[in-house]
Amino acid sequence: MSPLGAAALFALVIVVAIVAFLALATYNAVIALQQRIDKAWANIDVALQQRHSELPNLVAAVRDEMSYERTVLEDVTRLRAAYSPTAPIPDQAVTSEATSGAIRQLFAVMERYPDLKSATNVQALQDEIARLETLIADRRELYNDQVYRFNTRIAQVPAVALAGAFGWLPRPFFAAEPGAATAPSTDLETV
């Protein structure tokens, strides 16, 4: 082989090695992002299930005292029943946001009942659900950040060239539909 042919072969081997390295590094980075998304979603799911488990206890604890506020209690109960851990993430986001709104409305209405505010068990349940709401919001932010990173990564070069081959599609954000985040009414005259 001539020196020119050997140099060309060496250059080709270097280019192939660089392309292979970039493909491997990109693949590993995208897989790591997928794993982070799955972990973040699992953390949200745990918090949603904990909230789902605590809501009947709160409704049961305040039901007798708040008998005139049946609509608020029914909303919380209805939305709790609408929770489905197997639903697509966008559907779960809408249900979660609606449930959070109903809980905020329930807490606002509970403020009008001094006996409830002083009941230790009701206060403990309220504190726990408020803690879970904060936890869900924090975990939702982390999940959405990981989805943003993943979606951005697979849309950039060189991952965009590999996306079709590996079936990488943008992941949905855990976000409510427009208007679903509207604060619920706490006007007791309309409840």
**Rounded Cα–Cα distance for residues 56 and 94 (Å):** 20
**Rounded Cα–Cα distance for residues 72 and 123 (Å):** 18
Q: Is 17 exposed, middle or buried (0-12, 13-18, 19+ CB in 10 A)?
A: exposed
DSSP state of 182: S
Measured between alpha carbons, how far is residue 66 from residues 53, 106, 174 in Å? 21, 10, 33
**Rounded Cα–Cα distance for residues 151 and 154 (Å):** 5
| Chain position carrying tokens 């008998």 | 67
- Report if pTM > 0.75: yes
For the chain, 191 residues long, give each residue's pLDDT as a single digit of tens: 889 999 999 999 999 999 999 999 999 999 999 999 999 999 999 999 999 999 999 998 888 888 778 899 999 999 999 999 999 999 999 999 999 999 999 999 888 888 877 788 888 999 999 999 999 999 999 999 999 999 999 999 999 999 999 999 999 999 865 554 554 444 434 33
Nearest of 103, 90, 85 to residue 47 by alpha carbon: 85
**Rounded Cα–Cα distance for residues 107 and 53 (Å):** 17
Nearest of 68, 152, 57 to residue 112 by alpha carbon: 68
Report helix, strand or coil for 87: coil
User: In this predicted structure, what is the pLDDT of residue 43?
Assistant: 96
**Rounded Cα–Cα distance for residues 173 and 89 (Å):** 8
User: In this predicted structure, what is the pLDDT of residue 6?
Assistant: 93
User: In this predicted structure, what is the pLDDT of residue 70?
Assistant: 85
User: In this predicted structure, what is the pLDDT of residue 148?
Assistant: 98
Domain boundaries, the chain: 10-166
- Does domain 10-166 sit in CATH 1.20.1440.20? yes
The token pair at 173 is 């954000």
Q: How many secondary structure helices (H) and strands (E) does the chain include? A: 6, 0
